[in-house]
Amino acid sequence: MSEHEFDLVVLGGGSGGYAAALRARELGSTVALIEKDKLGGTCLHRGCVPTKALLHTAEIADEVRTAGKYGIEAALQGVDIQGVNSFREGIISSKFKGLQGLVRARGVEVVAGEGRLTSENTVAVGSETYRGKNVVLATGSYSKSLPGLEIGGRIITSEQALALTEIPKRVIVLGGGVIGVEFASVWNSWGADVTIVEGFDHLVPNEELSISKYLERIYKQRGIKQHLGVRFKQATQTATGVTVALEDGTSLDADYLLVAVGRGPVTQGMGFEEVGVTLDRGFVPVDATLQTSVAGVYAVGDIVPGLQLAHRAYQQGIFVAEQIAGLNPIPIADVNVPKVTYCEPQVFSVGLTEAKAKAEFGEDQVSAYEYNLAGNAKSSILGTGGFVKLVRRVDGPIVGVHGIGGRLGELVGEAQLIVNWEAYPEDVAQLIHAHPTQTETIGEAALYLAGKPLHAI
């Protein structure tokens, strides 16, 4: 066994891990980045990137299907799943090669193998030991299931769904959160019969209630069936299909059951607890600087309680590298991390919902306004409905920006600047939003809250 000395050892090469490694190298540290699979982790290979590639093909299918109303003569002859998969894999391959080149050019030493934390400053990979002045845990997450619901055959998670070489004729989606509604959107656009089962009363239950209700209405119009507020009981499968029983007595049949009930932290059997790192239901609690219960050991990304988003992991990885370097970086609270759900219509949000704002500041200390996309020329051109909602403290800053509509996820950039910089509606109202663009919706809502509405009543 031989030892290798570094300033920083990072266990996990996903979004948070490689972000920490790259920023640490920029700041002059030597870095070992340990990854048992491929750089980029779940996001690049099994999550964000491939699913969004599929959603783009779904958008194209819908555009072709409705081309006639725009005066374009076109007909959707079908979806070539092999061609779709080739497109998806091409995107992943290109980004993977680019990431490999970037990490190599920055001078990060990538160690291929399964790492195990063996002390507060060492990680073992096989017979080799990597010692760092600090260690970052970034081991990512896995697709969860429910007790008694075994994954296999016709019962699949998002990983197996991405690898399908056929388009299901009928599919049941267990879970109405981000993963569930995105896959439901894709399969529906490809022509499948889709049913969503969600134990909560609404789809995307963490979003504004009005957004959830609007999405449910649009999904119903698209033909996506929904069983909301009812719990899953059991599933049985054959070689050709699956039957799902719900607690209200409903029985559903389909070709596949997609289990989309969230993701769990990958922390078991990796030496964390033996070294003294506290775990809570498998997650790694951290302090305000993202340090674990063991001094010098930090954690980032999906294993840290809270939002499981690649861009949150990027930010945390950068934060830790700067914290170790003594730069005193500013943390971003989870509530102010931008979120986008890329179904059709898209959903985005930053900051507090109206209900949470009222709970925090008081019923009479919060005002809000929804600007309907019907008043936005660009949205009418695109053929989408929906709305943008601003939530503000009375005589205070905007504390939440939310929206739903076709292609509306691109507004999340301006929205997160508004919320994180604590802008007042009066600040945003005096800015110019190019016409015709969907960004005007934020400007219009701000004008209304500032007391000088233009295209709003």
Q: Mind telling me the catalytic residues? A: 435
Residues in Cβ contact with 81 at an 8 Å cutoff, skipping those fewer than 6 apart: 164, 165, 166, 167
- The three-class DSSP label of residue 296 is coil
User: Could you tell me the CA-to-CA distances from 150 to 143, 234, 237, 240, 401 in Å, in that order?
Assistant: 12, 10, 11, 17, 39
| CA–CA distance, 163 with 170 (Å, rounded to integer) | 17
Q: Round to whole Å and give the CA distance between 262 and 179.
A: 8
Contact 27, 322 (CB under 8 A): yes
DSSP class of residue 438? T
Torsion region of 175: left, alpha or beta (phi above 0 gives left; psi -120 to 50 gives alpha): left
Structure tokens at 112: 């291929």
Beta strands in 126-182 (DSSP E): 128-137, 141-143, 155-156, 170-174
The rounded distance, in Å, linking the Cα atoms of 43 and 381 is: 32
Q: Are 40 and 110 in contact (CB under 8 A)?
A: no
Phi, psi torsion values for 8, nearest 5 degrees: -140, 135
In a 3-state reduction of DSSP, which class is residue 238?
Answer: coil
